Amino acid sequence: MIALARRRLFARDKKGVTAMEFALLLPFFIILLFGIIQFAQALFIQFALQHAVTAAARCASNFSTAGSMGGTPGDCSTVANTQTVATQQAFGISVGASTFTACLNTASCTCLSSGTCTGYNCVTAAVPFQVGVVGLNLTTLHLTAASCYPVAG
């Protein structure tokens, strides 16, 4: 009889329920928190890439004569100089010049939807972004950005 009474008391006891619920929900909240952080990082990198390609395409259109810009590089008349400007304008992220592709008013490369780059200076960029935590990469997103400016006449 005493054992039965103890079982009933144990069944009615509510101590520890909050701790148990917290323990069950904590992993989901942690996953949600890290998901928000990863999304913010990807968005930041995307914005930095877009700013870099826009600034580089604008530079190629407005500063295409030798020494017209001042600073380093002195102009955006070559693909290498335009890539250097794009790398310098990628604020907050560390990318190399090979991340950027520049087409400067030539018909030999393809721009966005216009077909050829004749009459336009276009710069594109592509960066892989690893989604996951350290040691556990869930997937890779390929972040891209592109911008074209008409050649200054």
Range(s) of the domain holding residue 123: 19-150
DSSP category for residue 73: S
**Count of other CB atoms within 10 angstroms of residue 29:** 10
DSSP state of 152: P
Would you say residue 32 lies in a domain? yes
pLDDT digits (tens, 9 = 90+) for 85-133: 999 999 999 998 899 988 887 766 666 665 666 778 889 999 999 887 6
How many independent structural domains does the chain possess?
1
Q: Kindly state the tokens that stand for 54.
A: 């826009």
Model pTM score: 0.77
Q: According to the model, what pLDDT value does residue 10 have?
A: 64
pLDDT tens by residue, 17-36: 888 889 999 999 998 898 89
CA pair distance 56, 41, nearest whole angstrom: 23
Instruction: Specify the DSSP class assigned to residue 98.
Output: G
Residues in the chain: 153
Please check whether residue 68 lies inside any domain of the structure. yes
